[in-house]
Amino acid sequence: MSSFRYSSAMGTDVLLEMDCHLTKDGKAVIFHDNDLSRLCGVEGTIGDFNYEDLPPLLIRPELQNDPIVTNDPESTKIPLLTTVLDAFPNHAMQIDVKIGPLDLVKQVGRAIVDRKREHLTVWGSFKTEVGQMCEDQFADRIPRFLTMPKAAKALGLWSVGLLWTMEFREAAFIMPNVKWAMWPGFLRGLNRRGVAVIMFGIPGGGINTVEGYEAAKVAGANGICSDRPTLLREWLKTNKLRTVEEAFD
């Protein structure tokens, strides 16, 4: 919650990125990793604990004296999805339903629809089976992003000039900054099919250097996922990312 509040307070059109898991007692929470060891220092997964028994988040050493963290009583609490949605009702969000089950998909989708924020949200999963659940339960009501297998298929078809044969009902491709996929023609081709491209960093999740931002821009990304929103915002003052519409120019 501290990082979300910090990004929100910057006053930019920030898109908050988050991953969802289901607790043992059936509550949808925001948490990145598949297990608790790195972020909480304990064994197990989110699904092993009831919500009230979840361990606190660890504070990284460089942030332990940061007032943004130390003055926030929720800085170590794993938040409920509904808490985040209600705290930032007007912010665009990218929500990754990390690992099913179907109940998690239903909860996340219903939370989005009930708050009438379909136009502010792109959701889905990199996993085919979970992405299919999202489509089956809510069809095209909530914009979805590509699963990784479908994205790999799109790249393969583009490489032989057949991207035009694919049907895209998805609104976005959340892609890693791996060189073998960062072809400007491929990203432009996706844009021309109405698919926006948001790029994240490998390893670690965020693109966190100016050099990384520059490479994403050259490739034609429409958005960048970063753990350093202040640095990214400063860079964006003098660097414009291409819009989907500009791919037709």
Q: Kindly give the confidence (pLDDT) of every residue in the chain, 249 residues in length, as a single tens digit, with 9 standing for 90 and above.
A: 998 888 888 866 667 899 999 999 999 999 999 999 999 999 999 999 999 999 999 998 888 888 888 888 899 999 999 999 999 999 999 999 988 799 999 999 999 999 999 999 999 999 999 999 999 999 999 999 999 999 999 999 999 999 999 999 999 999 999 999 999 999 999 999 999 999 999 987 899 999 999 999 999 999 999 988 889 999 999 999 999 999 888
Structure tokens at 107: 């909860």
Q: Do both 131 and 168 map to the same domain?
A: no
The pTM (predicted TM-score) of the whole model is: 0.92
Structure tokens at 243: 């819009």
Q: Which of 119, 144, 169 is the last residue of a domain?
A: 144
Residue-range definition of the domain harbouring residue 68: 9-144
Residue 156 to residue 178: CA distance in whole angstroms: 15
Q: Do both 134 and 246 map to the same domain?
A: no
Q: Which of 91, 112, 144 is the last residue of a domain?
A: 144
Q: How many domains does the chain have?
A: 2
Residue 1 lies in a domain: no
Q: Do both 189 and 249 map to the same domain?
A: yes
Q: Which of 144, 159, 184 is the last residue of a domain?
A: 144
Q: Do both 49 and 140 map to the same domain?
A: yes
